[in-house]
Chain A
Amino acid sequence: MQARLFARQPLLLWAFVLPGVVYVLAWRIVPALYTAFLSLHTYNLAYDAGPRWYGLANYVRLAGDAGLMSSLRVTLVFAASAVTAELMLGLGAALLFDRNLPGRHLWLGIFLIPMVLPPVAVATVWYVLLNPFVGPVPHLIRALGGPEILWLSGPGTALLSLIVADIWEWTPFMTLLLLASLQAIPRELVEAAMVDGAAGLRIFRHITVPHITGMTAVAVGLRFMDAFIELDKVLIMTGGGPGAATTFVSVRVFKTAFQFFTLGYAAAIVMVLLLVLALLYSAYLRAVRRASRLGTGLTEETA
């Protein structure tokens, strides 16, 4: 009926579709195309009048950029560690909140607070918490007779501090998605399994896990991709240092574009990153779908 209405009145169809099309064009397609265009040019924003044709030179440079490879490594370590921990803790918390605990909604509300804080506030909180002179964490460790740990300025500890801050901020997000998924499991299914003698881990393995796999995949994928655009916390807590120990790819892109003003090269990094992430994500989704089929016995169509 709708199709017939739109066929009779194409203007009405356009009135509904146009805002979406304009949004996608203006905020997604055009910037992406301009980034691709810039990546083939050299353009120093501080000195040049406009972009100049540079061919594939930015991409050639990128292939031999040891700093970028190091940034990719650091980003992957950060993303893998933070997301794994967030998944484990998030799942634990979701299972806890799935029970009928007294004051469950209040506790859940409090638990979700870090997620709704602006990233700048999260970074500032952790910057103060870990500050060697005024921070409560180093103070507590000292009071307990522990060693002096330079959380934000040691090469290993700076990355660890960022991971901890990220876990604090985003575990609630993981919890929220997994909790929604857990609550969608039909209670009759669990009860039937219990009547058949299943309990505890068996129910978790054969009923819970298959039902939350899809949502877990989405949550992990989202968080993993988000880790690649993590910027605020790094800039505030460590500035990308010490040395290049916490210079994530996002920080490198930011510096290349807005500190060095070499927009062409920054655009080339973004294009390659986009490609790598797209490939990784599609491979990941395929793997998850396969795992999900194996776990549930569903066919590809139904999975």
Chain B
Amino acid sequence: MDKHRTRRWLVASIAAVMLIPLGAAPGLLHAGTAPVTLNFIAADFPEYDAFVNAANRIGKPMGIQIQKNFVNFDDVQKKVLLDFTARNRNWDLVFLYSPWTVSFASKGVLSPIDEFLTTPAARTLVNTKDFVPVTSELTYQGKLWSMPYLSAPWMLGYRKDLYEHAGERQAFKTKHGYDLAPPQTYKQLLDIARFFTRKKGETLAGRTLDDDFYGFVIANKKGFMFNRYQNILVAFGADLLFNPKTMRPTYDSPESLAALKYYTDLYKTMPPGSDNMTGGESTRFAAQGRVSTVLTVLDIMYSIFEDQKTSKVVGKFAYALLPTQMASRPHAMAVDANGIGIYSLSPRKAAAFRLLSETLSTRGLKEVIKEYPEYPAMRLSILNDPQVRGAKPALYQAMSLASTAKMYRFSFPQLPEWPQLVDLAQDAVLAAVNGQKTPEQALADAQAQMVEIFKRAGHIK
């Protein structure tokens, strides 16, 4: 092969490679008439499956469809941030968890919803006044960064049949001197959890137990535990890991220590292996009829307990507010929400807004509820709709209770160091409950590391 032939061969090869994209041209020529497909990245929650199914029904006449890309909850933020940093235009709709709002808004990952409310028709359809108050968690600098979609309260689920059983009530009153009822205080919760913790072969509600029975269950797996534990921590009067005025970590405060000691006691009433249980796993464990009381979010409990196919406790659970420890912080509960935002790099923003606003309108949300009847909508017009409420009375009673009761609500701080603090905090709790450290030592160790983090970040000297 001479030099010229080699060159010709190389040029021809390069030209062939360059021509490959033109093969796609016929497809591109039809793009104007083909349906628009929106790429949606979300956490793999059943509520988002329901959204996609409803949106695809609603979007069909508009020529807009959604392609779902569901990943683990933890992975959504990472994936979106990495894609945005690389300027990838691969998303149109993005799941937003309220603690990420400042990060996503300040980095420009999302286009604010306000940007699309330019016509009276759009404003009427979105109707921001119809959103429940917790929608404020999805706002930043006066703008709404995602359409509110899901916010369920943390509640206690308790076995009504056991709590109302005459023999159990009698035994409980004899032992504790007060009536067995949904716990109003954390002391009562511990009493009840201990009371119902029984070994295989013992009797429960007149029946001999085939397996051990537990008084309480909570998801203690890393990444799940702190979301739940923080309700107890704050109820006991502690800061949420640091004092926002002084910007000093306060995880070793007396209130925090009291909460951890309490949790160490409560932990003894939980099933072995709860350290490795996610929210769904702990609730499904309770659905096997082996626990008297559960702490998790309402819609997860309701959907799992009332699932006729898998639950052994259909109709047996009722719901109550989280207990109170201090009168000044009644039923302390963390408030969070998640919504669906429009990716700022999306080439299909108008279509994304159109489908999003239609699906999350009052009319559209009724379609979502058809897909997932336990879905707790964030619109007052849905929550107060007699037809919707009538279909799931127990669920909506509980939701009304959580939305109308006088409660101490708190939300997550928007701090870059927050994930590190949470990691340290949950390691400390797990080390204490497993006996690897005393509660005092666990908190002191975590506090020292938190102080280091705050110093490094320049919050304190």
Contact with A along B210-234 (1 / 0, CB 8 A): 0000000000011100000000000
Other-chain residue from A47, A238, A239, A244 in contact with B103 (beta carbon distance below 8 A): A47
Interface residues of A in 106-154 (CB under 8 A from B): 131-133, 148, 150, 152-153
| In contact, A44 and B10 (Cβ under 8 angstroms) | no
| In contact, A153 and B276 (Cβ under 8 angstroms) | yes
- Answer yes or no: A11 CB below 8 A from chain B CBs: yes
The verdict on A259 contacting B273 (CB below 8 Å), with A15-B10, A46-B77 known, is no
- Answer yes or no: B385 CB below 8 A from chain A CBs: no
Residues of chain A within 8 A of B417, CB atoms compared: 260
Q: Which residue of B lies closest to A66 (CB)?
A: B449
**How many Å lie between the Cα of A45 and that of B86 in the bound state?**
11
| In contact, B276 and A241 (Cβ under 8 angstroms) | yes
- Answer yes or no: B423 CB below 8 A from chain A CBs: yes
Contact with A along B265-309 (1 / 0, CB 8 A): 000000111111000000001001000000000000000000000
- Answer yes or no: A49 CB below 8 A from chain B CBs: yes
Other-chain residue from A47, A132, A148 in contact with B106 (beta carbon distance below 8 A): A47
Other-chain residue from A12, A132, A152, A155 in contact with B434 (beta carbon distance below 8 A): A155
Residues of chain A within 8 A of B78, CB atoms compared: 258-259, 261
The verdict on A150 contacting B273 (CB below 8 Å), with A47-B416, A239-B223 known, is yes
The verdict on A150 contacting B81 (CB below 8 Å), with A11-B6, A241-B221, A260-B419 known, is no
Q: Which residue of A lies closest to B212 (CB)?
A: A148
- Answer yes or no: A8 CB below 8 A from chain B CBs: yes
Main SS of the interface on chain A?
loop
Contact with A along B72-84 (1 / 0, CB 8 A): 0010011001100
Question: Nearest Cβ distance between residue A127 and chain B, in whole angstroms?
Answer: 9
| In contact, B82 and A45 (Cβ under 8 angstroms) | yes
Interface residues of A in 41-59 (CB under 8 A from B): 44-47, 49
**How many Å lie between the Cα of A233 and that of B140 in the bound state?**
38
| In contact, B272 and A239 (Cβ under 8 angstroms) | no
**How many Å lie between the Cα of A46 and that of B76 in the bound state?**
12
Other-chain residue from A132, A153, A261 in contact with B419 (beta carbon distance below 8 A): A261
| In contact, B10 and A244 (Cβ under 8 angstroms) | no
Residues of chain A within 8 A of B288, CB atoms compared: 133
Interface residues of A in 1-51 (CB under 8 A from B): 8-9, 11-12, 15, 44-47, 49
6 shortest interchain CB distances as A-B pairs: A153-B275, A132-B273, A46-B103, A239-B222, A153-B276, A258-B78
